[in-house]
Amino acid sequence: MSPPTLEKKARLQPLISRISAEDAEAAATVQVNAMAGHTIQLRVQPFDERPAVPAQVKIKAQGFRDMIAAGNNRIIKAVVREEVAGVAIWNLVSNKKALVENGVTPSPPRERTAEDEEALKGVDVEIREQIGKTSASLRNETMGDSKYWCAVLLAVDPVYQYQGVGKTLLQWGLDQAATESLDVYLEASDAGKRLYEKNGFELVGWNVLADEKTPGGSLRWPAMRRCSSSLLHASSTHSSLE
């Protein structure tokens, strides 16, 4: 008897648009579901230290509303059958700072509340800060003061993975970069690294953070860059990113 074969999922044609504050909970649900088992996320906040999923969604939703108010995040959603299937956060960076979008007036930072403090329960704040500094150091070393697009987050709900949703979210950023012939920078998981390489990204280095609580003694995650010369052919090049 022949071994069973996995059924190939049909590629979807998601609709891409910018999110609004009303989309925050749907976007947060995608992020919580997609990142539940992510290595870095597990180190920052282990499963047994996390609040119930509805509370996680509430926390992440406020984060999305804060990012919208800041004015320097281009947050997009992929909608399939009237449901948010994926979400991506893109920054346009110059001189090491995310640029506020033209025509957008940033809102002043809101005051922290008791809910913000509650959200930190179970979070290893120190390791989270160290991860952020490690990421920023390699990113700034690689990109310098140049102008480029940076994918801060690309998340697809597990129900919709491997059906072209992630590729569509990525392509949005590649198209933005291509209009000005700018490079694109992102960080990937070990598994995602191979997929980004098939889309023209090259490994520029590894973020490495010594951590005695991690097997092997350190956290490691790849940093990748797609040069503007590759972006010129983004629309016509076949891609396998799902």
pLDDT at 4: 44
pLDDT in tens, 165-190: 999 999 999 999 999 999 999 999 88
Q: Which residue is it, tokens 């940093």?
A: 223
Task: Report the phi/psi class of residue 80: left, alpha or beta, with left for phi > 0 and alpha for psi in -120 to 50.
Answer: beta
CATH classification of 15-100+118-231 is 1.10.3720.10, yes or no? Answer: no
Task: Give the CA angle between residues 170, 208, 118 to the nearest 5°.
Answer: 75
- Cα 193 to Cα 221: distance, rounded to the nearest angstrom: 9
Over residues 220-238, the mean pLDDT reads 73
pLDDT in tens, 101-119: 999 999 998 998 888 888 8
pLDDT at 232: 53
Sign for the pseudo-dihedral over CA of 203, 209, 210, 212: negative
Does residue 95 have a pLDDT over 80?
A: yes
CA distances from 230 to 145, 227, 236 (A): 21, 6, 11
Is 68 within 8 Å of 21 (Cβ atoms)? yes
pLDDT in tens, 3-53: 444 455 788 899 999 999 999 999 999 999 999 999 999 999 999 999 999
Going from N- to C-terminal start, the domains of the chain cover 15-100+118-231
Query: Closest by alpha carbon to 125, among 210, 43, 36?
Result: 43
- Cα 86 to Cα 225: distance, rounded to the nearest angstrom: 22
